[in-house]
Amino acid sequence: MQPKKLLQLRQKLKKKKPSFRRVESWRYKRVKDSWRKARGIDSKTRKKKKSGVKSPTIGYRSPKKIRGLHPSGFEEVRIFTLNDFKGLSNKKHAIKISGRVGAKKRITLVDYAQNRGFKVLNLGISQKELESLESMLETSLEEEEYLDLEDLEESLDEE
């Protein structure tokens, strides 16, 4: 099967898959919701009775060819520096920029990734990044105005 069809199949299977909850987590506050295997001697879930809770089995797994892929069909790769782009293909890999990367470095990584044609999965811009972008734009505008003023003075001197 083609990867596109397999991704659609995975999406269909995911809708049918039950949410695996820990036995009696709905009954007691002290029992958390995350799945734990039932181990009781008379447990209906452990005995796989119809009245018991559904437990995770191998039949709920996604197709092997697309296991671990992003829903877009790309393989996710976490990026920290420009050196991490070595050996990556824009047709196969999608980029996630690490949350530990600062705003200034993040901007350069996003620019580099977009120029190379990579899909950036976490493109969301934070408030800090917006402020730094605005300040960068302001400085570039001031430089342009300064250059324009010099050009005007030169043209006036010539006349």
Read off the pLDDT of residues 35-94 as tens digits, 9 standing for 90 and up: 999 999 999 999 999 988 899 999 888 888 888 889 888 999 999 999 999 999 999 999
Q: Can you give the pLDDT at residue 84?
A: 94
Predicted confidence (pLDDT) at residue 150 exceeds the cutoff of 70: no
Q: Is 56 helix (H, G, I), strand (E, B) or coil?
A: coil
Residue 102: half-sphere exposure toward Cβ, Cα within 13 Å: 4
Residue 138: pLDDT band with limits 50, 70, 90 = confident
Show me where the domains of the chain are located.
1-20+62-67, 74-138
Q: Can you give the pLDDT at residue 26?
A: 92
Question: Alpha-carbon distance 32 to 134, whole Å?
Answer: 46
Predicted confidence (pLDDT) at residue 125 exceeds the cutoff of 70: no
Share of the chain above pLDDT 90, in %: 45
Alpha-carbon dihedral angle through residues 104, 121, 117, 11, given to the nearest 10 degrees: 180
